[in-house]
Structure 1
């Protein structure tokens, strides 16, 4: 989906689930082992008081952890899955596979129902995106073809054969009458569905184009690449604008936040590179992550991003000020390849290399934006181990060691 469609504010909290895809803290999680109900006594609190901001964060997490039933159940398929994409307006998730097909699921808190299968590509479907109005699904495949399918009739409406000389790696709908594609060898092409051929092509990168985005103004196209550079094109005049310095790591994904005044780029070394909008030649800030490759990034508020990593963990990070919030969820024994956010910002879905799709409720992050506005000192290593309410795993640190159920 277009990044500008994914910046809708997140609203109030709803109930959270306790099934196998999202287990909140149980009583045993909240209570320490042994006879003591609370290992942190009043005297210890006086010597090591929790700062006001962190205390508010703990309250927000504890409140969310008590909720139930807040996301759809997981989707488990036998096929090798390649990508996922939420419909921008309806409760539909598109799931592509290595056979070249796209399955459409109507999701709800109770169940996920397959409402149709689109048999599109002769080889693996490598990426997809919806038009802004949701009426058309755009897909790319290893067969070098681009397919446009009508969502109302589930029929193919346009077909570009041999659209690139190399297999395409990514596709992005950039406006009402324009979309872009990037391939394994660094070529980008722009297309207008009303005409039979590409309207612009260029090659400024030596490696694969990992992701392409624009903003609401649709003036610039930003492309991240495996060669370590961020390349910017002028969409309106259809020409090359600027290329950043070449970083010694793959640039794997990109997102917009802070009312599209900031650009965050993820790398295969786990770093967050931050650029100012209109200043694409050199990053303005860098924030080190957990040293695991970042495979996908989704801005979920104006300050918070969720990222998918090679170690199977989905992490949340507050970018202004820099702070690791914790673990949103985890795919056991599987790389997390991509994440996407649903149309109303209630939850995200993640795809693991084992072809499991999990849903995670993220509404509680609205409260984090309210309480994470101070530049207090924090323990980054500990915070990267914190499990948030959506996670199905018990907390790996002592972050919640002092929490007890207020009703117990």
Structure 2
């Protein structure tokens, strides 16, 4: 389903609370629109209904169309599945970024006139305004904690903000608004080109060398504490102040050991157009707070974490996906995944092993990491480059170069693992054959059907016709069930996508053509 907007959109953000079906969009006109999609969550539209809302024509008298299920009430024809709650325009310049805070009560926005706004989610009114928050136009905004905010600009400067911090009166500030010198907590200038993406990792795995050093320091500290306890007990024993029972209790407490060492660390991961990735310790200041990687000789456009923060996936301008391992340090990537024909502008984590990538060719792909494999295509933005992409639960919202937001339902994709586990006990052998065939570039529905027919004909020629008829009668029901399961798996491996409205065709994405170089 597409939601039309009043002008071209540059950014979007989902409300963090699961009970709130709200989406905020930043428009090039400077407006911010809040959209409620409750009706969409209640009864998702079918493909034909989505075409009707987009303005497409529906053929009359299509007898082959299946009726809608009666389990969920279907919307009336022409009924909108979304509601625009409010529009606000805090600045006359374009809104380049928008993001909800962690509670969802406020909305932060950045604009081309270098300003930063805090907007009330319920009313759409401005709560705080920072004029000239950056020396150039900001490009990214990201809330880190309940009272900490990060922004990045086109010159590569990253700033941290605390909305609670006392600020000067707006009448005393130059040009009105809040004086940024009294508001910005810290500023980092280790990048020299525009900030493309930011991601906050509360538990980023430390490098192995640092982890070993911390363990050694902790062991030395435990030894020193034991020596001090022994000296203290000797002095108390000489003075007769320590009983035997108390001594035993202290020995037991000392033998229990110290609390375990925290293996995680909180870091702000930043990618830049200068070709480098950096991690910032928001609790530290100065030059030692940031660790910068080597030059990757390509613009780094997007970043996402998988494997519980043990791996980072970065999208580049040339279409490569670079894999980073925090345990080995973030000075350079550890692996590169080719295959995207165009730049990877956005990455969203689907689960611990799978990501969604949005490219400038307008396609949203499902890519599995370790082992690397393209699982299919879930959305097409009519060939327009995807500017932003966000996911909340089963819904994926993406923005192309246009004045509309595209909603994609990921319900079937999220349930794929459960259905495969249910059929593993009965069809382990057949699944392996299908996966091998797909890895060789084979496995379309037509080829599988023809292969089954050829096998049946060959078996008839070799064996007895009477015995084969008896086997077919006894196993016909099981074969039909296996055939239906095969079609479901093949359909999920090759997602059907809708191309541009003018063509109106339906295409299928190959399984291995995308990663033919691997």
TM-score of the superposed pair, with normalisation by structure 2 = 0.59
Please list, as runs of the form range in 1=range in 2, the aligned pairs for 1:171-320 lying within 5 A after superposition: 171-195=141-165, 196=167, 197-217=183-203, 219-239=266-286, 240-278=289-327, 279-320=329-370
RMSD: 2.6
Structure 1 residue 333: Cα displacement: 3.5
CA shift digits 1:71-125 (9 cap, x unpaired): xx31123412211111111101111111211011101325111111122122000
Structure 1 residue 204: Cα displacement: 0.9
Partner of 1:378: 439
TM-score of the superposed pair, with normalisation by structure 1 = 0.74
Please list, as runs of the form range in 1=range in 2, the aligned pairs for 1:334-373 lying within 5 A after superposition: 334-342=384-392, 345-368=393-416
Please give the alpha-carbon distance, in whole angstroms, between the structure 2 residues aligned to 1:199 and 1:244.
24
Residue number among 374, 382, 402 corresponding to 1:324 in the alignment: 374
Does the 8 Å contact 2:150/2:158 carry over to 1? yes
Runs of 5+ in structure 1 lacking a partner?
Answer: 1-72, 400-408
Partner of 1:144: 114
Change beyond 3 A, Cα 1:251–1:139: same
Structure 1 residue 382: Cα displacement: 10
Change beyond 3 A, Cα 1:216–1:379: farther
Change beyond 3 A, Cα 1:390–1:215: farther
Runs of 5+ in structure 2 lacking a partner?
Answer: 41-74, 76-80, 168-182, 204-264, 422-430, 445-491, 500-505, 512-518
Give the structure with the larger helix fraction: 2
Structure 1 residue 364: Cα displacement: 2.5
Q: Is 2:439 aligned against 1:392?
A: no
Partner of 1:10: none
Structure 1 residue 292: Cα displacement: 0.5
- How many residues end up aligned between the 2 structures? 324
Partner of 1:130: 100
Residue number among 120, 127, 137 corresponding to 1:167 in the alignment: 137
Does the 8 Å contact 2:96/2:138 carry over to 1? yes
Considering Cα pairs closer than 8 Å and 6+ residues apart, tell me whether 1 or 2 has the greater RCO. Answer: 1
Please give the alpha-carbon distance, in whole angstroms, between the structure 2 residues aligned to 1:157 and 1:381.
58
Give the structure with the larger strand fraction: 1
Does the 8 Å contact 1:328/1:387 carry over to 2? no
